[in-house]
């Protein structure tokens, strides 16, 4: 008997305020045409004043619980992937726990920037497979609008706010690739590249800081590393691009998404794309895309799904799961 971490529910929340590319034309030297053609982004959502990452996460978590037909106290573990927690501490995850009225179990954050949700999924899988948790609520939630330099046109047009949540539950499998649940994981990081995508402040340096990115360099690593990590994860269980029903990639740039799919030999009609509507929501982008992909009727039970992401660190990885 093999214990699998199987998807039980999914949900998301996007803040009300939608900001089209044209709004940036009034603020900085940019154009809708440049943003669309270089990134694929057409609009993004920004959190309202006072609305925090855990507020978004709680809304997404409630949607996932409803989808799963579960109550908060049915959950054993909450993992929130975020780089924009409300406070230095406690974790966003304990705030979500409180926001849901959950009085049992445990909650903690994972910080691997845009790859955070993949790292969180891997952690949740390990907790479930080892018997430490039966049900895990895995959330990606961000308010990147709070760390954008509105004078840096190379970054401020690219990011958005939002949250997505997935509930995983322990289930018995056969130990084959036909099992539902997480089948394989591949995680990587390389701190030599810490200065091509970072925030130039933090608690220990005593200022909040702004996001800084050498876009072209990150782009180059993304195209090379995303297909490689997906290939590695699939290879661990003897699968390849041909077996994939849906790639659900980190939504940073449509050109990166297309190049990765091409390298994996997967046509674009088997890729869930939301970047045009959400922008780059960092750790929230994959669970948002999973939820929207299910809502659109793209992802169905039994489908083989591959998620892949890269972000600051650099940190990158991939999860293969049967929905
Ligand atoms: O989520 C974490 C992972 N992050 C990513 O994956 C992001 C990776 N990088 C990218 O997506 C792309 O590199 C960008 C979308 C950030 C930029 O696209 P690019 O094709 O690499 O453009 P570039 O940075 O080489 O800039 C080209 C030109 C420059 O002008 P010059 O030097 O050629 O005269 C920039 O100054 O575009 C200029 N530019 C802009 N022009 C209008 C940069 N930002 C803007 C802007 N509007 N917003």
Ligand 1 centroid to 99 CA: how many Å? 38
Q: What is the pLDDT of residues 162-172, one digit of tens each?
A: 999 999 999 99
What is the pLDDT at residue 258? 98
What is the pLDDT at residue 188? 98
Annotated active-site residue 114? The verdict is yes
Annotated active-site residue 250? The verdict is yes
Q: What is the pLDDT of residues 18-76, one digit of tens each?
A: 999 999 999 999 999 999 999 999 999 999 999 999 999 999 999 999 999 999 999 99
What is the pLDDT at residue 316? 98
**Can you say whether the dihedral through the CA atoms of 114, 143, 195, 34 is positive or negative?**
positive
Question: Of 210, 182, 215, which is closest to residue 318 (Cα–Cα)?
Answer: 182
Considering the chain, what is the average pLDDT of its residues? 97
- Note whether 131 and 185 are same-domain residues: no
DSSP-derived secondary structure for 102-114: --SSEEEEE--GG
- Note whether 190 and 277 are same-domain residues: yes
SS3 content of the chain, % helix, strand, coil (to 5): 35, 30, 35
DSSP-derived secondary structure for 12-58: EE--SEEEETHHHHTTSS--HHHHHHHH---EEEEPPTT--HHHHHH
Name the active-site residue from 123, 250, 253, 278: 250
Beta bridge partners of 44: 19
Q: Which range marks the domain in which residue 289 is found? A: 181-322
Reading the block at residue 54, the tokens are 């855990």
Q: How many CB atoms neighbour CB 39 within 10 A? A: 22
Q: Are 31 and 179 in contact (CB under 8 A)?
A: no
Confidence of residue 308 (pLDDT cuts 50, 70, 90): very high
What is the pLDDT at residue 75? 98
- Note whether 85 and 185 are same-domain residues: no
What is the pLDDT at residue 1? 83
Confidence of residue 264 (pLDDT cuts 50, 70, 90): very high
Mean pLDDT of 123-135: 98
From 173, 199, 230, the end of a domain falls on 173
- Note whether 155 and 214 are same-domain residues: no
The residue to mutate among 21, 38, 83, 226, having the most atoms of ligand 1 within 8 angstroms of its beta carbon, is 38
Mean pLDDT of 73-82: 98
Q: Are 24 and 174 in contact (CB under 8 A)?
A: no
From 149, 173, 197, the end of a domain falls on 173
Indicate the number of domains in the chain. Answer: 2
Containing 93, the helix (H) or strand (E) segment is helix 92-99
Q: What is the pLDDT of residues 267-294, one digit of tens each?
A: 999 999 999 999 999 999 999 999 999 9
- Note whether 258 and 134 are same-domain residues: no
**% of the chain with per-residue pLDDT over 70:** 100
The label of the residue with tokens 């990147």 reads 144
First and final C-alpha spacing in the chain:
19
From 155, 173, 191, the end of a domain falls on 173
Paired sense of beta strands 135-143 and 77-81, if any:
parallel
- Note whether 245 and 264 are same-domain residues: yes
Q: How far is CA 100 from CA 71, 103, 181, in A?
A: 9, 9, 25
What is the pLDDT at residue 206? 85
How many residues in the chain?
A: 323
What is the pLDDT at residue 33? 98
Alpha-helical (H) ranges within 174-284 are 215-236, 254-264, 275-278
Give the CATH number for residue 22.
Answer: 3.40.47.10
- Note whether 217 and 294 are same-domain residues: yes
Radius of gyration over alpha carbons of the chain, in Å?
A: 18
Beta bridge partners of 78: 107, 137
Annotated active-site residue 278? The verdict is no
- Note whether 292 and 190 are same-domain residues: yes
């Amino acid at each position: 008997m093999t214990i699998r971490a199987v998807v039980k529910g999914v949900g998301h929340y996007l803040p009300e305020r939608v900001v089209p590319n044209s709004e940036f034309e009034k603020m900085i030297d940019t154009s809708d045409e440049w943003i669309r053609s270089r990134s694929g982004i057409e609009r993004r959502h920004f959190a309202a004043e006072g609305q925090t990452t855990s507020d978004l996460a709680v809304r997404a978590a409630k949607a996932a619980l409803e989808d799963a037909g579960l109550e908060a106290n049915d959950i054993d573990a909450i993992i929130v992937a975020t780089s924009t927690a409300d406070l230095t501490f406690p974790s966003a995850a304990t705030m979500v726990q409180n926001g849901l009225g959950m009085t049992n179990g445990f909650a903690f954050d994972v910080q691997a920037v845009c790859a955070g949700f993949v790292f969180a999924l891997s952690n949740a899988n390990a907790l479930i497979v080892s018997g430490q948790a039966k049900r895990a609520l895995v959330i990606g939630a961000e308010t990147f609008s709070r760390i954008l330099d509105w004078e840096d046109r190379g970054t401020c047009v690219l990011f958005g706010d939002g949250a997505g949540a997935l509930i995983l539950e322990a289930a018995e499998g056969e130990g084959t690739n036909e099992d539902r649940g997480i089948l394989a994981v591949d995680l990587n990081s390389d701190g030599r590249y810490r200065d091509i995508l970072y925030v130039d402040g933090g608690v220990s340096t005593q200022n909040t800081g702004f996001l800084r990115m050498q876009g072209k360099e990150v782009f180059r690593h993304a195209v090379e590393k995303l297909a490689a990590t997906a290939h590695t994860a699939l290879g661990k269980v003897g699968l390849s691009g041909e077996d994939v029903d849906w790639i659900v990639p980190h939504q940073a740039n449509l050109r990166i998404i297309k190049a990765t799919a091409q390298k994996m030999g997967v046509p674009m009609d088997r890729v869930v794309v939301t970047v045009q509507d959400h922008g780059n929501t960092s750790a929230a982008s994959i669970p948002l895309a999973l939820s929207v992909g299910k809502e659109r009727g793209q992802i169905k039970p039994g489908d083989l799904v591959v998620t892949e992401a890269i972000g600051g660190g650099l940190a990158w990885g991939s999860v293969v799961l049967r929905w």
